[in-house]
Structure 1
């Protein structure tokens, strides 16, 4: 009875007017056009560097390229919309010209950025705030009619890790997403992907509790994206660094795939693709 309130099962997205299959998991590569992203090797400082990295990502098997011009690491500095656009637009234009096969996702919580980047040639909006940091975001997505990735985050990038508290982290996140999905459905936004928001306004214990019960997100009948790549929930447990957290990332990606994840958002494409191939062999 409850499930009738949600979208019908989604195994595809409408991208550029074409139906894109999501029945098997896909990899989203992270392309940070920022000087302060938490993993220094992911920082991209020029258009040529962005093109070089994207070509490698595509050759290694990435399906989506997620471009961010605003660092969302804990305690990240705020930047203006103009600054964010100045980082993103030239890269989008260069990718469309030189690597037109790339499906471009834009990591932003601002409606103006969403609209301007889609008009510049991007295809998907990835919003870490699910509309909470910009009241115009949902209406903008409805007007643009592009796929929308909606993540749960408690607080903002500036304060999200300052003592996050939940009554029950799984039920709280599910309840939050359910309300958002209902609003999106009323706006006739059809292509929605949900992200539980690992590492965003959650303690290490919260993150692992969510991962342990991640199969419960199937209630929404929507594709689930996960982003563990080299995060603190890995390297703080292992007592190493982000640079040393690839093995831990692969372990968590494997678990997430077994629990129904459809998109892995990663810094390391080759390893994520290998992970998917091996999990797929288990049926």
Structure 2
């Protein structure tokens, strides 16, 4: 794809229902941070911490003060079934997911009108009501595979749609999938998701390679190191790396990964590489460390290289 087409401003400067979010590579602070707000009992890292409205609002206030550009509200865990996380996340009905997320989104929109709010859901009914309650973006972790009509909801409300690559249903993601070439396969799958979205009227999308969903440790890391291949599709790229099992396995071993509580520094390292490769949205549990790392990364890269360094 030609450079002029890949970085068309109308694709990288998102209009989030009247709010502008610049996602062009080369941002002054490296990337925007999306703070994760799981109002669930069973998410792998923070499940159960923010189930009450007061706890959720306090957490959102902290993340916004730490520099989060977006608060991503999720009411159904996608923790996969398997050796590391056991039975995986329990399925959640539409009614239960509504009960969890809608009061939080409505309260966030009223208390923090300056905040951008994303709803993390693959159910069109939940997404529509979340947008009516004040959300600005939809984060579909199935990339329209399960409910293509999600694109119609995004188009109707003028909301950017985040499309993530994954295999299977949430909570039942297989740990072993055979890819001929994980970068090429994920790129092709996301291109198909984009085509489905645009055919149904979605003007703006964001691509997420699905770090940790149905991919091996090596495949996850290879995707991060080749994000520029996804960026070349011509849309902003988001990564969700925060404290995932790949980090634990690299720092420990396949059989004995370090626990989530000890994965922050590894997360920051891989996140830095992702931003260097072109990601401009970072989904994170730990907002302040991520924001500070990105600021220093961008400030360092903004300094000129010396003639001595470039000569050698």
Q: Identify the residue that residue 58 of structure 2 maps to in structure 1.
A: 52
User: Runs of 5+ in structure 1 lacking a partner?
Assistant: none
Q: Identify the residue that residue 83 of structure 2 maps to in structure 1.
A: none
Match among 243, 259, 262 for residue 261 of structure 2: 243
Conserved in 2, the CA contact under 8 Å of 1:106 and 1:124?
Answer: yes
Within 2, Cα distance between the matches of 1:202 and 1:101?
36
Q: Identify the residue that residue 153 of structure 1 maps to in structure 2.
A: 166
Q: Identify the residue that residue 171 of structure 1 maps to in structure 2.
A: 184
Which has the greater radius of gyration?
2
Q: Identify the residue that residue 103 of structure 2 maps to in structure 1.
A: 90
Report the secondary structure of 2:168's partner residue. coil
User: Runs of 5+ in structure 2 lacking a partner?
Assistant: 81-87, 253-257, 303-312
Q: CA deviation at 1:3?
A: 8.1
Q: Identify the residue that residue 237 of structure 2 maps to in structure 1.
A: 224
Q: Identify the residue that residue 67 of structure 1 maps to in structure 2.
A: 73
Conserved in 2, the CA contact under 8 Å of 1:16 and 1:123?
Answer: yes
Alpha-carbon distance change, 27 to 42 in structure 1, aligned in 2, over 3 angstroms: farther
Within 2, Cα distance between the matches of 1:128 and 1:222?
17
Moved more, 38-47 or 272-281: 38-47
Aligned residues: 283
Q: CA deviation at 1:6?
A: 7.3
Conserved in 2, the CA contact under 8 Å of 1:68 and 1:106?
Answer: yes
Q: CA deviation at 1:2?
A: 7.7
Conserved in 2, the CA contact under 8 Å of 1:5 and 1:182?
Answer: no
TM-score by length of 1: 0.94
Match among 104, 108, 123 for residue 117 of structure 2: 104
Q: Identify the residue that residue 146 of structure 2 maps to in structure 1.
A: 133
Within 1, Cα distance between the matches of 2:150 and 2:17?
20
Q: CA deviation at 1:68?
A: 0.3
TM-score by length of 2: 0.86
Q: Identify the residue that residue 21 of structure 1 maps to in structure 2.
A: 22
Q: CA deviation at 1:93?
A: 1.5
Q: CA deviation at 1:8?
A: 3.4
Report the secondary structure of 1:91's partner residue. helix
Q: CA deviation at 1:43?
A: 3.3
Q: CA deviation at 1:219?
A: 1.1
Report the secondary structure of 1:20's partner residue. strand
Within 1, Cα distance between the matches of 2:162 and 2:35?
14
Alpha-carbon distance change, 179 to 4 in structure 1, aligned in 2, over 3 angstroms: farther
Q: CA deviation at 1:206?
A: 1.3
Q: CA deviation at 1:125?
A: 0.3
Q: Identify the residue that residue 188 of structure 1 maps to in structure 2.
A: 201
Within 1, Cα distance between the matches of 2:7 and 2:196?
11
Q: Identify the residue that residue 310 of structure 2 maps to in structure 1.
A: none
Please give the residue correspondences for 1:113-132 in structure 2 after superposition, counting only pairs within 5 Å: 113-132=126-145
Q: CA deviation at 1:262?
A: 0.3
Within 1, Cα distance between the matches of 2:4 and 2:95?
42
Conserved in 2, the CA contact under 8 Å of 1:161 and 1:203?
Answer: no
Q: Deviations over 1:41-85 (max 9, x none)?
A: 773121111111111101100000000000011021101000000
Q: Identify the residue that residue 204 of structure 1 maps to in structure 2.
A: 217
Within 1, Cα distance between the matches of 2:169 and 2:133?
27
